Chains A and B, each alone.
Chain A
Amino acid sequence: MQFVSYSFFLFLAIVFVVYYLIPKRFQWMVLLVASYVFYCFAGPKYLIYIAATTFTTWLTALQIDKLKAAQADYLQENKSLSREEKKLYKTATKKKQRHLMLAALLLNLGILAVVKYTNFAISNINAMIGLAGGQPLGYVSLVLPLGISFYTFRALSYLIDVYRGTIPAEKNGFRFALFVSFFPQLIQGPISRYSQIESGLFTPHRLNWKQVSFGLQRMLWGYMKKMVIADRIVVGLTTMTGDTAAYTGAYVLIEVFFYAIQLYADFSGGLDMAIGAGQIFGVDLPENFVRPFFSTSIKEYWNRWHITMGSWFTDYIFYPISVCKPMLNLSKWSRTHLGPVLGKRLTVYLSSFAVWLATGVWHGASWNFVFWGLSNYLVIMISQELEPLYRRFHQRFDVDGKLYFKIFQVGRTFLLMGFLRMYDCFDSVTTTWKMLLTVFTAGNWNILWNGSLMQIGLTAADYIIIAAGILLMFLVSMSQRSGSVREKIHAKPYIVRFVLWTALFMAVLLFGAYGIGYDATSFIYNQF
């Protein structure tokens, strides 16, 4: 069931009514049933995947918790043990916990790897077999279960948090199942942590009209982004990226711009819908975007874009690798042999490399995504290395804090990220490079004004709507800098609020690219 479907509206309305009508202690159960019904729409056979991940992570976390409790009891009962004996006992228990956690991690990442990367692996093996003149392997037919990357990461974050002792294990498996499957965040995130949404999910909620209307408003804003902007601009984008022979040079620059807008409007729009839907039920999901196109550097951009994924990789890949024993040994060795500066950075570089490789692979089973992840890594590392040089330049020309320089930085980051993002748009890494190169070699800048852009499937009316939509997004982003836009609107007289929200609703209804005649596009991040 897509968020942009009539069945979803009906589903949401039914769940809403039942949720607020039944006794409050059963509310979370309604959400659990609704989430599994929602998941069933993707195909009941895929329930096995989410159920398996839920069960294994819940059981493992419970076992880890039991070991911790047993350890506490044992140490309480055996106070006379020497410090050495206690340490030995703790180490042994920790080892058992680690083994349990690793087994569950491997199992669930294994499921993810098999369903998501098997054919990618086969295609690479076939390439090598081809070089050796052998018979290629056949591909397997595996359909990706809905939202598997998202719910797997959510479940694993919980498991690791229990292992680390950050949170206690949830005793009730059904409650944990709700955390993993909560339907608003099932399709494309956010990748919330158990501690972030536990209270929202399980605390009884009274019907709060302000909260419900805020949720609906957030959803409406998401529909505006997705249906009015993303699904309209995608027509022009797919026309251009689908014909790499005809659309080169300046067209690629337009593609960079179009894809940036489409991806942001699509993904953040979907997240607005998810967060809004959560809010309707009193569940505050974490934010995933904070005006990413206002970033002045790529590092800052990644702190504002897909925030929950970034923090997941930082917490569960970057830090564990940085402080693991081999890395600490390497750090020690490199400080001695390579000097304090490079020695200190080496471990950071290696950990970051792992993070960006994983980020790329997480986004998709293709070399394009691997290169995309590593390109981000390279740009961030180079920027970090050149930081002292930049600082001197800024001081020399006194540009720090100047508006024009900030605009330059924002534009530079937008373009750089836009170019990197083009790995998504073409079928291979080399095609991406070739297409990007044509920006500087084709010299067809006249397409920007000779009417060629009217031949890519977009009419003048489409451009006007897209431009108005982008302007609206920009104005809302500007206003967000000083606080919640919905709160600001809420403070206005009723008539103003009514006119504003009704106008937005009518705009989505009339200018949304939906229904027959439009190629309904599912959310880009659904496939992850």
Chain B
Amino acid sequence: MKNRKRKRFVRITVSVVIICLLLFFLQRLMMPKYSVGTQDGAMIAEYYDDEPKHNLIIIGDSEMYENISPLVLWQNYGINTYIRGSAQQLIWQSYYILEDTLRHETPEVVIVNISSMQYSEPQKETYNRMTLEGLRWSTSKVKAIYASMTEEESFMEYVFPLLRYHSRWNDLSADDFRLMFHEEPVSLNGYMMQVGVKPAENIPDGIPLADYTFGDIDYEYLDKITALCKEHGVELVLMKGPSLYPYWYEEWDEQMKDYAAEHNVVYLNCVNKEEIGLDFSTDTFDGGLHLNVEGAEIYSDYLGEWLQDNIGISDLSSDSALSRAWKTKADAYEAKKSEKYKELSD
């Protein structure tokens, strides 16, 4: 009798383990591999592979991760930067990413891109996925999911992504098997390098809006970001990247200035800022939305100087461990640049 019971117990345990393993492998297989697909979804997860010793953390959407080169910030100013960026990152997602980051480290300065203040509602499931899937599980992630889900989404499908991606069996490629357990990094400290030139021409003025006021929910999360930074003794910089498009309205700019003044935080609007030295006939790869690598290097140089002059951010270049790490990263950066140019010329 005892033997039978034991046998039954072993059988059930083994069965459950096999099913769990099967589900685990299937899930890994079915999940999209951002490093070989839509790379914008890969960076949030890559942060955890870098040593958490950054004195500058930048949080935001493609206006950050395609426009700022952390290598330039390091090489010219000794600023150890990481960009926690994802496509169309919403302000509440920025907040929870900040919360997640501060659990790992406390940087001197946090830059938050405020172009997302224009969105008061979740936009698209695809963007949510690209932002949230890379976050490690924590209460921040759970809250970020609940804050971000569109009507069609389900929390369960974030917990078990296999339920979301089950139908990918028809699109599987060799990469899905190769990258099941480890994806190749696509960014350099969160920077996604772009090459090529598509000059900005005929940038249209913004369409008049019925209401320019940012939503209550945006302010609610901006307040939370401000409070969290203050709580951790982190200098907060609210920044609007230099992208010419989508249009950044004067009314929006005014609201941000007022907010910054009221809450005693810094606001830096880089749109059409001549002292940066950007030339949108050569420094953008997509007609003014984002910068190419040359543009990003120019902008980063400006940003580094601005941070040193206005915020007094530390120069960490004397840290030998960091210097060694950045030496390797610089090599990878140059290799990537060459590779990208080669791809472009092909």
Contacts and interface: CB of A to CB of B under 8 A. Distances in A.
B164 A516 contact: yes
A516 B168 CA distance: 12
B156 A516 contact: no
Interface string B142-163: 0000000000111011000011
B166 A512 contact: yes
A195 interface: no
Main secondary structure, interface of A, reads: helix
Nearest to B129: A516
A510 B170 CA distance: 10
B22 interface: yes
A6 B164 CA distance: 12
B167 A515 contact: yes
B125 interface: yes
Given A515-B166, A516-B125, A506 B157 contact: no
A496 interface: no
A506 B26 contact: yes
Interface in B157-181: 157, 162-164, 166-167, 169-170
A517 interface: yes
A514 B164 CA distance: 9
Contact of A516 (B11, B152, B169, B170): B152
Given A509-B162, A510-B166, A516-B153, 8 more contacts: A6-B154, A461-B170, A498-B18, A506-B22, A506-B26, A515-B166, A516-B152, A516-B164
7 contacts: A502-B19, A509-B23, A509-B163, A510-B169, A514-B163, A515-B163, A516-B153
B157 A510 contact: no
B30 to A, nearest CB: 8
Contact of A498 (B15, B23, B164): B15
A494 interface: yes
A236 B23 CA distance: 30
A509 B19 CA distance: 12
A515 B162 CA distance: 11
A502 B152 CA distance: 29
A518 B163 CA distance: 12
Interface string B7-51: 000010001001100110010000000000000000000000000
Contacts of B157: 515-516
Contacts of B156: 6
A280 B79 CA distance: 62
Nearest to B171: A461
A489 to B, nearest CB: 15
A55 B123 CA distance: 48
A502 B18 CA distance: 10
A492 to B, nearest CB: 14
Contacts, number: 41
Contacts of A459: 170
Interface in A489-528: 494, 498, 502, 505-506, 509-518
Main secondary structure, interface of B, reads: helix
Contacts of A509: 23, 26, 162-163, 166
Contacts of B22: 502, 506
Contacts of A494: 11
Contacts of B164: 515-516
* Residue picked from A6, A505, A511, A518, most chain B C-beta under 10 Å: A6
Interface in A242-261: none
Nearest to B154: A6
A159 to B, nearest CB: 41
B21 to A, nearest CB: 11
A510 B154 CA distance: 17
Contacts of B167: 510, 513, 515, 517-518
* Residue picked from A502, A506, A515, A517, most chain B C-beta under 10 Å: A515
A518 B167 CA distance: 10
Contacts of B162: 509
A234 to B, nearest CB: 16
A40 B19 CA distance: 34
* Residue picked from A459, A510, A513, most chain B C-beta under 10 Å: A510
A504 to B, nearest CB: 12
Contacts of A511: 166, 169
Contacts of A510: 26, 166-167, 169
A193 to B, nearest CB: 37
Interface in B104-156: 125, 152-154, 156
Nearest to A505: B19
A498 B18 CA distance: 10
B310 to A, nearest CB: 45
User: What are the 4 closest A-B residue pairs judged by CB atoms, nearest first?
Assistant: A6-B156, A461-B170, A510-B166, A516-B152
A469 B19 CA distance: 22
Contacts of B166: 509-512, 514-515
Nearest to B153: A516
Contacts of B15: 498
Contacts of A505: 19
* Residue picked from B11, B157, B167, most chain A C-beta under 10 Å: B167
Interface in A442-463: 459, 461
A6 B19 CA distance: 19
A4 to B, nearest CB: 12
Contacts of A502: 18-19, 22
* Residue picked from A461, A513, A516, A518, most chain B C-beta under 10 Å: A516
B335 to A, nearest CB: 38
A518 to B, nearest CB: 8
A515 B18 CA distance: 25
Interface in B243-292: none
Contacts of B153: 516
A220 to B, nearest CB: 13
A446 B170 CA distance: 28
Interface in A407-461: 459, 461
Contacts of A516: 125, 152-153, 157, 164
A461 B168 CA distance: 12
Contacts of B169: 510-511
Nearest to A518: B167
A499 B18 CA distance: 11
Nearest to A6: B156
Contacts of B23: 509
